Amino acid sequence: MAKVTLTQFLTLDGVVQAPGAPDEDRDGGFEHGGWLVPYADEDMGRFVAEGFGSADAFLLGRRTYQIFAAYWPQVTDPDNPVASRLNTLPKYVASRTLDSVGWHNSTLLGGDAVREVAALKERLEGEVQIHGSGNLARSLMAHGLIDEYRLLTYPVILGVGKRLFDGGAVPTALERTGGGTTSTGVVIGTYRAAGRPGHGSFDLEE
């Protein structure tokens, strides 16, 4: 069975919308696209490169797939740690609106994304990585299909935008398995899903 991992860039208030460019995603009149860029440094690049190095396949939502497919095939340096993996490894695209996917080694998953991904986990081995793809990630989180979270939290608050852990998220306990802090203050945390959260109380015993 495959392990599904999710890598997300998010602000302190949980926004994941359009981290990489002003026009990446303007849904809802979002005007803060590109908020990640001022915090990019070698530490972040090293973490991203190491993450891509462990991938065996990728699982992407429609919007992220289209953004990646328009950019990464143009990066042909075989030593680029991101392009070399994205351009060669299998890519599975969860979408009900796309009719076809033309990027090399891409497969369209039509129909119900949750059912398709559950079947994919059973069929594949190794690590299947989700990058971005917030809508898809939220659907899979609600059904317990994400095994590991790699969250890069940036020291910026936006107040508006799409959030990863939006209303309706299933209560889940996470076990921290790694992480660190970059030179620009980005907090990196890697977490393993650990079932439902426990509860307790600090009330004084009589």
The pLDDT tens digits of the residues spanning 100-130 come to 999 999 999 988 999 999 999 999 999 999 9
pLDDT class of 27 with cuts at 50, 70, 90? very high
Beta strands across the sheet bearing 127-131: 106-109, 91-94, 57-61, 127-131, 3-11, 148-154, 187-193, 174-181
CB 51 within 8 A of CB 150: yes
Instruction: For residue 32, give every residue at least 6 positions away whose Cβ sits within 8 Å of its Cβ, in sequence order, or none.
Output: 15, 17, 18, 158, 160, 161
Sequence-ordered list of residues with C-beta below 8 angstroms from that of 99, at least 6 positions apart, any chain: none
What's the pLDDT score for residue 148? 95
Q: What is the pLDDT of residue 195?
A: 87
Average pLDDT, the chain: 94
What percentage of the chain reaches a pLDDT higher than 70?
A: 100
Q: What are phi and psi of 83, to 5 degrees?
A: -60, -40
Distances (CA, A) of 92 to 123, 136, 164: 13, 12, 21
Segment 129-156 shows an average pLDDT of 94
